[in-house]
Structures are given as structure tokens and as C-alpha cells.
Structure 1
Amino acid sequence: MCAHLGGNFSKLWAASAVSNLGDGVTMAAGPLLVASITTAPAAVAGAAFAQQLPWLLFALVSGAFVDRLDRRRLIVAVNLCRGLALAVLAFAVVLSAVSVPVVYVVFFLLGTGETLVDTAAGALLPAIVPASGLARANARLYATFTIGNQFVAKPLGAWLFGVSAAAPFGFDAVTFLLAALLVARIRVAPAPAPARSSLREEVAEGLRWLWRHRLLRTLAMSMGIGNVAFGAAFAVFVLYCRARLGLSAVGFGFLLTAFAVGGLVGTALVERLTRLVGASVLLRVGLFVEAATHAVLGFTTSGLVASAVLVGFGAHAMVWGITVVSLRQRVVPAHLLGRVGGVYSLLDLGGAALGTLLGGLLASMWGLAAPLRCAAAVMLVVALLAWRPLRGAATREAVAGSGVPGRP
């Protein structure tokens, strides 16, 4: 299926599939483990926050290290460390020595490793896949994540925890070991060592380059604001489903599955849609799709309408994400891929975290539909402001794909 993308990509793809399966298992089992230690809601939520916090703290610095170091070796070393951390957690569970602080420390280490590995993998891909195959390669990676992490891993993690509380974490440790071995077999010419300066100067260089590139700056700002809107819209989604749509817990789970199904559809269609209408149209129309999604959800009281909208939104999210990351990998110079990717990651997760706080505040003041309606208005403004700057996306992509370096 991916033979024409090369054997190196096959190894990276397999490593991504294995590690994402393990990540999903731990994401499902982690809250169950904390809940078995304490019933305090804040303590249970803290486990997820401990794994997200490193993105806010280290995304920019991790991007600089990705550009400093050999990316393949970095992925191998960090995956081995993450596997070791999970093995320690599994043994602590077996020995009945686990506590909430231990879980927090391990999850913080996992999140820190994730900032390095995810950024390094995105920067490594253009070195092992031709420019013409980047969209196809990213679609494979996104689809694998959706299937493994969202469909398979969550029930598997809960089942493994039921068998033994230590089993999911031991399983994830093994997946990191396998992923490290697969990436270690990738053969890629080492990149020339960049001139060293201070970390602050290197981070600033990446920020300056991104700010001067009008297209990527527009995409970054649109994504950052879009994730604030998304985080606000879905901060109280479970309460919205119950009180406004009248759905049970099963119905809520169905809506989440509808989003994932849409994501699979998006990964299957992204190449065809790009050939048919071009990247520029996909990016510009996608912002209006996002605004329309929030608006419909903000005014409907039908679970069927909501599920249909979420299938479409899931497809849009994958198409937009794959288009943006493929474009970025083509345009950004190789020695800056880590730092620019780090900025995008900071805007992605930082925006979502800020939006979550805003969403809870809006819902408490004006009702459960208020965050969705506000998100719709914000995204409509973003779509209108970004319409003209995104018009040249297809041209820039073609220039980058021809091997001409992207310039601010």
C-alpha cells in the first residue's frame, strides 16, 4: 500500500501505528488507575493535565532541539526512555507502590517525550518521502492514528486494565520498544550540523522565519484562534449532549465515534480533493465549514443533526490538518522544520487549553450553547480575514513541491 513511498516510510509508519496504539491504551487506562487510588475529580483530571503541560512548557524548546540533533536517533532514544518510564509505572502498580504523584510524574515525562518525538517525526518525514508523496504519507499516518488510537486502543486499554491494573502500562512500554527498534532501522543521510547559537536565539530564528512567511503565518494564526474556538465549543460538550440534545452516555459516545468516522473519510479523500479543487480552496472553504459546524451545533437540539455535522467536521479536520502539515513540510527549510513545527504545536495545544477555560466561563454565564455560538462568530471572522492570504496556497505548494525553497 505504501511501497512507492519507500521502505523508510514503511518503518516510520509501522512505528507510528504501534506507538499510537500504546498511547491510546495508556490514555484509557490512566484515568482508571488514578480513579482506583482516589475519587477526587480534580486528581483524576490532573493526570491528563500532567501529560498536556509539557506542550505548553517545552514545545518551542523541543523544536529547537529537534533542529539541533539527529532526528532519527532522537526518536529512538526518547521512545526507549518513555518505555522505561512506563515499565517503572507498571512495576509500581504490581508492587502496590503506585500513588497519584507517581502517576503524575510518569505522565509528565511521557508528555515531555511526546513534544520531542512528534516534532522530530514531522521534521524527519520530508527526508524519507519525496515532496510529491507528503500528502499521501501524512494521510496514512493520520488514518493510522484515528484507527489505532481512537477506535482500537480505548476499549483495549479498558479491557487490559480489567485483566490487570499493570497490564496496559506494560503493554505500552513494549510498544515504545518496538517503535524504537523500527525507527532505528530507518536509513537516511545525516543532515549537515547547523551552526550552534543559544537556544533563545534558535527559537527566535524559527519565530522570525514563520512571522515573515505570510501564508504559513496566516495558517498558524488561523489554527491558533481556531483551536481557542474549538476548545471553548467542546469544553462542556458532554453536558451539552445530555441537557440540550437529550442523549445518554451511549449517545455521547456515538457522537465521538461519528467524529472519528469523519476523520477516516477525510484521510481517504484528501488527495482526491486536492487534485480536484486545489489546496487553496480546501483551506479557505475549510474555515467556513468550521464556522458552520459551530453554528449548527449551537442552534440544533437534534442528536441526528449533530452526528451528521460531526462526521463532516471530522472529515474537514483531517483534510485541513493533512493539507497544512504537508504544505509546511514542503515550504519550511529542513533546518527549521523542528522550530516551526514547535510553534504550530504550541498554538494548537495552547489554544485548545485557553479555549477550554473560556468555554467553561461562557457556558456558566450564558448557557451550554453559548460557547458554540461564540465559536461560530469567531471562526466566521477568521475565515473572512484569511480568505485573501490563503488564496496563494496552491501556488506556493506547487513551488515548494518543485524543489524551490520557500521564502518569506
Structure 2
Amino acid sequence: MRGSPDRRLGWLLSSSALSNLGDGIGKTAFPLLGASLTRDPVLIGGLSATAFLPWLLFSLVSGAMLDRVDRRRAMLLANSARAALVGALALLVLFDATTIWLLYVMALLIGTVETVADSAAQALIPAVVSRSGLESANGKLQSAEIVGQTFLGGPLGSLTFVAGASLPFLLNSVGFALAALFLLAIRGQYRPRVVGPAPRLRTQLGEGLGWVRRRPLMVRLLVFAAALAAISELAQALLVLYALDGLRLNEAAFGVFALVGGVGGLLGAALTARLTRAMPRRTVLALSVVGCGAAFTAMGLVTEPISASILFGLFAACIVVLNVIIGALRHALIPEHLFGRVLGVWRTAVWGAIPVGALLGGALAAWLDVRAVFLVSGVLQLGLAGALWLVLGHYQREIAALDADEPEPDDPEPIRHEQVMPAPTPEPTRPEPTPAREPVADESATAGA
């Protein structure tokens, strides 16, 4: 029997929550293990950069492959592979056979598989919810990520690391394995239908790049998101050193510090829909970036742990609001049969900017200090908020498509809805959203990032 959309979304969210729990444990345990091997800020920043480097190298290929294969199966296999890799790392830690360079290798391998797992989860969202439910589904996916990675995974990773350095990696492996098992409960086929001979991979990559290039709104959002990712990672890559050395917290307290960020993230996910109903999305996005910048600027000035953790919670809340809106906008505007490729382009630029920011942050901290990096990151984010406000003032019609279940009647480029949907009734065709028009001087806009 085929599952209902709500049930399929529930299984997908449950699987994502478990895999994010594994991610949260690992993202706390990895830097703690790295800090136990070295306190060099360049090497710590490099470890964070290595974890995100696969998004720069393989996002395009992973996205194109997801438009050729069953996305549920790809996600299942990727989570299984992550379980095996992290399980092997747990054994190496148990037998005291780790070095900082081994951590680099494992971070690279796990990050490579993650490009498939995370992109597949995003690509499955439009297949299990209606267009009108995209923002809600993205909010739930963000909440699952926050609960798993920071609310539960962060504290659990730090506490178990204190009990035994190999234990968090073992729990990480179990989380990925359970996430794979949960995907077995999602019935149906999730492979995009290909009409005629399957195109070459190179052709598919070109289609994704071409789609983005022809849409000025997506290009501008892409540039903004990449800039924010790099600027915020200047400081985020050094968070473990900020907490352990700057705030004088121990390893267990570091998880509690991350927990406050999780609480802030959950608050942001819960408030996003209310905020976008009360204010234009352009305003919400700009204010959220202001909140991010103000939080990091203040973190560079305070020395008291409670104040610093509250500020980190503010940053997490604001960044989640951004992620929820931008995820919903992507789903509303990108045709499903192109979603994997376009998401690959997006994450190559945005997530590929993260290792650049991490390396620059490590170098800047070695030149100045960790606290100064937070100040620099915060001030740059405040400047980015002003630029975002100005840029999004010209795209009211394109951004308004986020709220529409049906495309605009004058869409000139209808695109067939080619995703195979496991639903009892055929999925209707859906034209591609209208390409960006020339700006109108007095046009106000709402936006999603």
C-alpha cells in the first residue's frame, strides 16, 4: 500500500532527524578530538574546511546523479556508507590510532557521502508535500536538523567524549544506520522519469547551470548565500577554540554551549511562518542577517559564558529563519526534474564557500586572535544585510511565487513535471516559474532565502 503524503513526510523527517543526530554528535566530537591533538587555529580551521570541501568538489556531480537515480535509495545507501565510515573511525579512536591528518581524511570521506545524503533529503521534499506545504515542510526539516545536530547531538557528543573518546563516534554510526532503516518505510518510486535516451552527465550539468544563469533572482540569492556562508564560517570554524580557550569551558560544557544554539534554532524555525505572515520576506531576511551580525559582533566583545551562549542562540535563530525561507523559495521556483542539478549548483557555490571561510578564519585568528575573528565576521554580516535589502527590492513577482500553488498565467516556458510520484492520482503538470523581469523602480518585494 502506498503511504499518504503526511506519512511519507513523517518517515523522511524521522530519518533526517536520526541522521542529523549522528551529524550533531560527530560535529561536536570531531573538533573536540582535533583540539585534543592540536590547538593550532590554522589546523582546526582546516579540519572544518576539509569537512565542507566535498560540497565544492562534488555537489554538481551529486546533484546531477540524483536526477538520474531513485532519490530515496540514494539517501539510504549514503547513510549506510556514513555508518560504516564513522564506525571504522570509532575503532581507530578506541585503539589510539588517530592523528590530525587521519581526521582530515575521514572528514573528507564522510563529507563526500554527505553531499548525496543531504541533497537527496532536500530533493525528496517536493515529492512528499504539496506546493502550498513547502515552507511548513522546510521548517520541519530545519527543526529536525536543529534537534538532531545541536539540541541533542551537541551535548551528547561532548558528554560521551568525556566518558570515552570513541563513544560519540560509535553513537554517530548507530544514528546513520537507523536513519537508513527508517527510509525503508517510505513506499514508492522517487526516480525522475526520463523521456527518451538518458542525457549525458555533462549535458545534465550544463542544464542545471544554464537554468540558474538565466534567472537573475536565483543568481543574486546564490551570491548572497555564498557570501554569508563564507563570512559566518570565519568565526564558526573556530567555535571550539572560542569556547575552550576564550570562555574557559571544558569539553562537557562545550556541548551545553552548543545546546543553547539549538534552542535558538528551534525558536527560529517555529517563528519563521509567523514572521513571514507579519512582514515582507525581504524585511525578514534583512533583519535576520542583522541579527546574525549583531550576535557575532557582541560575541567578540563579551567574555562571560552565559552571555556568549545566549548570543550564539540568537545567531542560530536568525540563520535558521534564513534557511527555512530560502529552502522554500528554491522548492517553489525550481522544476522538480531539475532540482538535483540546480541544488548541486547552489551547494557548490554556497557550501563550497564554507571551507574558504574556515581557512581564512584560521589564518586571521593566527594573525590576530579568535575573538577578533568574531568581530570581523559580525561587522561584515551587518554590511551584507544592507546589500541584501537593496538587491531584493526588484523581485516582487518572482518571490511572490513562493505563496502560489499555481504558476502565473503568463508563464511563457511551461516545463513538464517529470518526477514520478507514489500517489494514487497522477501529478498535474506544472509550468516553470516566470523568468526574472527587468526591475521596476517602485516595486516592493518580499523574499525568501
Whether these two folds match at TM > 0.5 is yes
Partner of 2:432: 405
Stretch of structure 1 that moved more, 5-14 or 372-381 = 372-381
CA distance in 2, matches of 1:309, 1:401: 40
CA distance in 2, matches of 1:307, 1:11: 33
Cα deviations by residue, 1:24-52 (Å, 9 ceiling, x for unpaired): 1122223444455x446355555433322
AA aligned opposite 1:128 = V
Partner of 1:10: 10
1:87 aligns with 2:82: no
Is the alpha carbon distance of 1:100 and 1:355 closer, same or farther for their aligned partners in structure 2, counting shifts above 3 Å?
Answer: closer
Cα deviations by residue, 1:275-301 (Å, 9 ceiling, x for unpaired): 344xxx123442244146525754795
Stretch of structure 1 that moved more, 8-17 or 267-276 = 267-276
Is the alpha carbon distance of 1:237 and 1:29 closer, same or farther for their aligned partners in structure 2, counting shifts above 3 Å?
Answer: closer
Equivalence map 1:330-349=2 (5 Å): 330-349=332-351
CA distance in 2, matches of 1:43, 1:197: 42
CA distance in 1, matches of 2:310, 2:95: 47
Partner of 1:186: 186
Partner of 1:271: 273
AA aligned opposite 2:56 = L
CA distance in 1, matches of 2:310, 2:100: 39
1:117 deviation in Å?
0.8
Cα deviations by residue, 1:345-370 (Å, 9 ceiling, x for unpaired): 22222333333455566775796534
1:73 deviation in Å?
0.8
Partner of 2:410: none
The SS at the match of 1:387 is helix
Contact 1:160–1:168 (CA under 8 A) maintained in structure 2: yes
1:152 deviation in Å?
1.6
AA aligned opposite 1:214 = P
AA aligned opposite 1:193 = V
Equivalence map 1:9-408=2 (5 Å): 9-34=9-34, 38-39=37-38, 41=40, 46-190=46-190, 191-193=192-194, 195-232=197-234, 249=249, 258-277=260-279, 281-291=280-290, 293-294=292-293, 298=297, 301=301, 311-358=313-360, 364=367, 369-389=375-395, 391-399=396-404, 403-408=430-435
CA distance in 1, matches of 2:99, 2:312: 38
CA distance in 1, matches of 2:363, 2:47: 22
- TM-score of the two chains, using structure 1 as the length reference: 0.83
Is the alpha carbon distance of 1:230 and 1:107 closer, same or farther for their aligned partners in structure 2, counting shifts above 3 Å?
Answer: closer
The SS at the match of 2:67 is helix
Partner of 2:419: none
AA aligned opposite 2:353 = G
Stretch of structure 1 that moved more, 52-61 or 313-322 = 313-322
1:74 deviation in Å?
0.6
CA distance in 2, matches of 1:240, 1:339: 37
AA aligned opposite 1:22 = G
CA distance in 1, matches of 2:93, 2:231: 39
1:70 deviation in Å?
1.0
The SS at the match of 2:352 is helix
Query: Percentage identity across aligned positions?
Result: 34
Gaps of 5+ in 1: none
Stretch of structure 1 that moved more, 134-143 or 370-379 = 370-379
CA distance in 1, matches of 2:39, 2:244: 22
1:119 deviation in Å?
0.6
Is the alpha carbon distance of 1:361 and 1:179 closer, same or farther for their aligned partners in structure 2, counting shifts above 3 Å?
Answer: closer
1:126 deviation in Å?
0.7
Partner of 2:417: none
Contact 1:283–1:320 (CA under 8 A) maintained in structure 2: no
1:222 deviation in Å?
1.8
When the two structures are aligned, how many residues end up with a matched partner?
399
The structure where helix makes up a greater share of residues is 1
CA distance in 1, matches of 2:434, 2:309: 42
Is the alpha carbon distance of 1:5 and 1:140 closer, same or farther for their aligned partners in structure 2, counting shifts above 3 Å?
Answer: farther
Is the alpha carbon distance of 1:397 and 1:257 closer, same or farther for their aligned partners in structure 2, counting shifts above 3 Å?
Answer: same
CA distance in 2, matches of 1:293, 1:46: 23
Contact 2:56–2:351 (CA under 8 A) maintained in structure 1: yes
CA distance in 2, matches of 1:44, 1:238: 9
CA distance in 1, matches of 2:92, 2:264: 39
Contact 2:54–2:108 (CA under 8 A) maintained in structure 1: yes
CA distance in 2, matches of 1:90, 1:25: 12
Is the alpha carbon distance of 1:220 and 1:406 closer, same or farther for their aligned partners in structure 2, counting shifts above 3 Å?
Answer: same
Contact 1:229–1:378 (CA under 8 A) maintained in structure 2: no
Contact 1:25–1:153 (CA under 8 A) maintained in structure 2: yes
Contact 1:207–1:343 (CA under 8 A) maintained in structure 2: yes
Is the alpha carbon distance of 1:90 and 1:233 closer, same or farther for their aligned partners in structure 2, counting shifts above 3 Å?
Answer: closer
CA distance in 2, matches of 1:153, 1:186: 25
AA aligned opposite 1:372 = G
AA aligned opposite 1:159 = L
Is the alpha carbon distance of 1:253 and 1:76 closer, same or farther for their aligned partners in structure 2, counting shifts above 3 Å?
Answer: closer
Is the alpha carbon distance of 1:347 and 1:291 closer, same or farther for their aligned partners in structure 2, counting shifts above 3 Å?
Answer: farther
CA distance in 1, matches of 2:141, 2:126: 14
The SS at the match of 2:150 is helix
CA distance in 2, matches of 1:192, 1:32: 45
CA distance in 2, matches of 1:185, 1:375: 42
1:339 deviation in Å?
1.4
CA distance in 2, matches of 1:130, 1:343: 24
AA aligned opposite 2:145 = F
The SS at the match of 2:187 is coil
The SS at the match of 2:63 is helix
Is the alpha carbon distance of 1:386 and 1:186 closer, same or farther for their aligned partners in structure 2, counting shifts above 3 Å?
Answer: same
AA aligned opposite 2:385 = M
